[in-house]
Every structure is written in C-alpha cells, then in structure tokens.
A = this chain, B = another copy of it.
C-alpha cells in the first residue's frame, strides 16, 4: 500500500551514538528524493513539546556524515512521560502538518514512541542507534561498530603501558546489560580476561586464570570489564580484590567512559545509517507504521517496535569460546 506522506519529522533521542548524523542525513535526502518535506526536531521529544522545529533540505545536511554526535541534539524529556506532554507534542505535529515521525535512538526512544502511538495513532518509524547493540531484531545498531574501534584503540594504548611495566590493567567499558562491547573489544584488543553481564564465572576462577597465565610467561595482562559485570564488585573493588590475591602484580584501573560515545563514525556505521535512513522513508511510503527498520543478514528489515524493545542482548557462546582460546 502506498500512502501519501507529505511531511516527515525526524529527531534523535537518548544517548548519542556516532552515525546519528549520517542517519538524519539519509532521512532528509530520502525525503528530498521522494519529494517529501522534512522537518528536524531539536532535542528529541523535549523539542517536540517545545516546538523546536526547523525545515531541513538536502543542503542542510551537507558535511555532517563524518561527524560524531547529533546536530539535532538529544535530551531526556520528563514532560514527554506525562499525558499532557505527549498531547502538546501531538498538537505541535498537527500544527506543523507533519504526517509521520522518524525517531533515531535506543529502546527508551522506542518505548516513548509506542506510548505516543497508542495515544495518538501517529505514524512512527524507529531507527536503532546506540553504541550498546542491545536492540532486538537488528543484527547491529548504529554506533556500535565505531564504539568497538574506539575501545580497541584505547586498549591498544593501554597495552603499550601495560607491556612496558609488566602490569595488570582492568579496563571498564560500556554495557550495563549487554556484554557485546566487552566481548568483541576484548577479543579485538587481545584481552586476557573479559567479564560480561551475561555470565558469572566467579572471581576465584579469574584469580586462578591470572596466576596460570603469568606462569605461562605472560608478563602483562588486560582485563576488560563491562559496567554490568556479575562480579558483585565495582571495578576499583575488583582491582583491590585481585591485588590481595595475587603476588607481584601491579594493578591499574582505567574507566574509558564517555569517549566511547563520540568520534567520527566508522565506514560501517555511516553505510548502515545511510541504509536505515533511506529504509525508514521507504517504509513510511510503503505504509508501514510503528516499526523499526533494522539490518538483518545485510538487508534492511522491518520489526514491530514492541518486539524491538524486548531484550536484544546477543550473547554468543561461540564468541566466548573464541575469547577463551585466543587469550591463552
């Protein structure tokens, strides 16, 4: 079914991720191609409520594909969590003659979209963009690949110091519920151990493994720890515990923090964002609503938003095995 859409609004919401700008650009240019008007909404749902709109054309988005962050900015909106807030938002959309929304973000963004749609029956398409890769129904989220490269580059730097000093480093990476960043960057950076939220292998095993590893001739070690790891200790407590149970190990902690969200997106993330941005406009034109466009087996697919917000952690046992074998 081809449904006539005349004007689309686009916004970014939640934690920013590299590639959000590339996604906005693709939505805007997809609109230009389809001769649909496009309106940028600043600061996510908050800007929707505050009527913070700007018309965007193909030229508005030039030279942004290489930039991290989101030029439409992002924000948390408490007001959008209220019925009144959402009413205001709906009224603003109506007043501006906007027929449909494309929302770029993660599960919080999509949850807001679902509620809004329930109340106002407004056509919405989601585009998954979050470094955590924890969205259901898409193999990858925009920003995840860039974050992996950022983490690996940072750990490569730490490895220089670790090797020079025969030290043990605990490196905290993002991932409260999903260990994808930790597991993949840990393999990529050649980490000796990787602690993730999806499993609890016990702190004693860790200590034993480190002892064995040193005996085998390893003089320095990197342990990658996801924020949400199951050790029951924060990373500083964990460092203290290990130091108390190992001899001759100088231990250091590094919390990578917010650098993981920024940076110029990788080629993969730029292409993914371009595909999904175009895909979102196509989906609207094809009459699809309340879905997320995702990538599955290199193809753009549509996933109902209520499915997309279900737990999307992708714990891969084979990857854990690869980590264990390559880190000997």
In the complex formed, the residue of B with least CB distance to A167 is: B258
| Residue contact A164 to B16, C-beta cutoff 8 Å | yes
Known contacts A262-B156, A278-B321; is A75 also within 8 Å of B166 by CB? yes
A263 within 8 A of B: yes
B278 touches A325 (CB 8 A): yes
Instruction: Decide if A123 is an interface residue (CB 8 Å cutoff).
Output: no
Q: What are 23 A-B residue pairs whose CB atoms fall within 8 Å in the complex?
A: A16-B165, A26-B322, A26-B325, A33-B328, A58-B328, A59-B218, A62-B218, A63-B159, A66-B156, A151-B267, A152-B270, A153-B264, A154-B259, A158-B259, A160-B261, A161-B261, A184-B267, A184-B271, A187-B270, A188-B274, A274-B326, A297-B297, A299-B318
Tally of this chain's copies: 4
Pick the contact of A258: B254, B271, B298, B322 (CB < 8 A).
B254
Chain B residue with Cβ nearest A252: B258
Bound-state CA distance A50–B306 (Å) is: 57
Chain A positions near chain B (C-beta within 8 angstroms): 12, 16, 18, 20, 25-26, 29-30, 32-33, 43, 58-59, 62-63, 65-70, 73-75, 139, 145, 148-154, 156-161, 163-166, 169, 184-185, 187-190, 216-218, 252-259, 261-264, 266-268, 270-271, 274-275, 277-278, 297-300, 316, 318-319, 321-322, 325-328
Expressed in whole angstroms, the Cα–Cα distance for A215 and B188 within the complex equals 37
Which listed residue, B73, B164, B267, touches A166 by the CB 8 Å rule? B73
By the criterion CB–CB under 8 Å, are B65 and A188 in contact?
Answer: yes
